[in-house]
Structure 1
Amino acid sequence: MPLTTIQLEDVLNHPEYISIHQMPGILLDLRYASADNFIGHKLYGDFDGGLLHRQAASQLARAASILQEERPGWRLRVLDALRPGRVQRLLWERVKGTPQHIYVADPARGSIHSFGMAVDVTLEDEHGQEQDMGTRFDDFSLLAQPAQERQMLQAGLLTQPQLQRRLLLRACMQQAGFHGIASEWWHFEAADSGWIRANMLLVE
């Protein structure tokens, strides 16, 4: 079944999509709005990227509040939020036909980011210091995969403090209704991906 789409230009004033720029406990550090990403240049153009569907935004606010309770002064640092389909196609073209294709959703299926229902996020402490999670964002290695964490720990490639920070992030996000994926410690989805693709608008 083809996905139902909405143009990015129409989303900017749509009541279902809201800005997360002023959300308490959140810092936006959107990597595809800069050159600090695996492509190596800015992908978002004039779009600032700081939008989510209101359901995901509400859950993110809850996760930030939970983190504050656990670690006063800490914040969630958002690395990516709503990602238009036009940008997803650029990422897909870069990895298609390579071993890295497993890390980028085929735009024909629709990335959950393109529905405004996924967020990439890490932790920063009360001094604004981004925390060491064992890898950088968009690291295409086994070390970035939650499914491999115990093996990486046993092999000495992941430290206990790095794992504890990942577990803290995961616990805050899960308590707020998000769930992670097996291949990326930073990626969280606000609902079941099948339900999202069947019921929500994909932003082009």
Structure 2
Amino acid sequence: MNHHLLLIIGLLLFCSSCSQEKSNEQRMLDDILQEGTYTIPEEAAENLDFSDFGELSELEQHLIDAGLVDIKSVLPEVYVDLKYSSEDNFFGQDVYGDLQNCYMQPEVAEMLAIAHKALKNAHPELTFLIYDAVRPLSVQQILWDNLDKPASVKPLYVADPKEGSLHNFGVAVDLTLAYQENSEALDMGTAYDYFGYPAYPDREQEMLKEGKITPKHIENRKILRAAMKAGGFSGIASEWWHFNAFSKKQAREKFEIIP
């Protein structure tokens, strides 16, 4: 066999190998596009370097160390918009920094999953949009110290850190309803953290008569309250968005304040 023939055979074999490799890569890409995930072979995973993915923030690691869970790990279909990780809150300051995930006690997350199931059964097009859950006592102190109100009225806006709040135990959640398809929040009549009677559940009929809120606002709030009640939560008189999983007495017996 002459050298030219050997060279041709070698090239054919090489191209065949390249074609097979390309085919394997194409199949991998097809799997990713169709399934949304790709399982990395164990022998390849051992050599991966995840350092470029970044480290958890100090606050997030603190919450994990305290035994709290990220609600998205339990309910991936809910939306999260932590208002205190932005300046879109009642006193215009970001106090959570890099924290974007929402944490709460595992038992509370399970209760919220039950509430979410009840919501989906009644209104499949809706989901929860969570604004806040656990609030470490250190952050509560920041809110208290930076609130530009007289000390006598501060407790109307923020719980006194000396007393603590159910947020500090990780057993309270602030949330609203949103459309599953686009995360657009339903109109509840007021913004989150609105301080005034239009936000008070126990003043809804009065505010309706005065034209401060509409029947649709009340209807939306009732949908939220019904779902949360199904999960074992209770609301409060002054904030349509706030729900407690336990009383303060129960929280003190079951959990520790998150410092």
Aligned-residue offset at 1:100 = 5.1
Q: Structure 1: where are the runs of 5+ without partners?
A: 1-6
Q: Per-residue displacement from partner, 1:174-201 (whole Å, max 9, x unpaired)? A: 1100001111000001011222134420
Pair 1:20-2:74 in alignment:
no
Does the residue aligned with 2:174 lie in a helix, a strand or coil?
strand
Give the paired residue count: 197
Superposition deviation, residue 80 in structure 1: 0.2
Give 3-state SS (helix, strand or coil) of 1:21's partner: helix
**How much identity, in percent, do the aligned residues show?**
37
In structure 1, what is the equivalent of residue 49 of structure 2?
Answer: none
Query: Which secondary structure does the structure 1 equivalent of 2:204 belong to?
Result: helix
The letter for the 1-side match of 2:141 is R
Distance apart, 1:25 and its partner CA: 3.4
Q: Which protein is richer in strand relative to its size?
A: 1
1:110–1:197 CA contact under 8 A, matched in 2: no
> Counterpart in 1 of 2:90?
38
- Residue from 210, 227, 248 that aligns with 1:155: 210
Structure 2 counterpart of 1:186, from 221, 237, 241: 241
Is contact 1:51–1:116 with CA below 8 Å preserved after alignment?
Answer: yes
The 5 A counterparts of 1:70-85 are 70-85=122-137
* Corresponding residue to 1:101 among 128, 133, 155: 155
Aligned equivalent of 2:39: none
Corresponding residue SS for 1:12:
helix
Residue type at the aligned position of 2:85: A
How far does the alpha carbon of each residue in 1:119-178 deviate from its partner, in whole angstroms, 9 at most, with x for none?
000000243211110100000111111111111111111100000000110010011000
Is the 1:17–1:52 Cα contact (8 Å) retained in structure 2? Answer: yes
1:91 matched to 2:146 = no
**Greater relative contact order, per chain length (Cα 8 Å cut-off, separation 6+):** 1
Change (3 A) 1:182 1:46: same
Structure having the higher helix fraction is: 2
Q: Which residue of 1 aligns with 2:114?
A: 62
Superposition pairs of residues 108-147 of structure 1, within 5 angstroms: 108-126=162-180, 127-147=182-202
- Preserved contact between residue 63 and residue 103 of structure 2 (Cα < 8 Å): no
Structure whose CA Rg is larger = 2
1:166 paired residue number: 221
Could you tell which deviates more after superposition, 125-134 or 162-171?
Answer: 125-134
Q: CA 1:163/1:18 → structure 2, altered by over 3 Å: closer, same or farther?
A: same
Give the CA deviation at 1:49.
Answer: 4.8
* Cα distance between partner residues in 2 of 1:38 and 1:98: 18
User: In 2 relative to 1, CA 74–19 (structure 1 residues): closer, same or farther, beyond 3 Å?
Assistant: same
Runs of 5+ in structure 2 lacking a partner?
Answer: 1-58
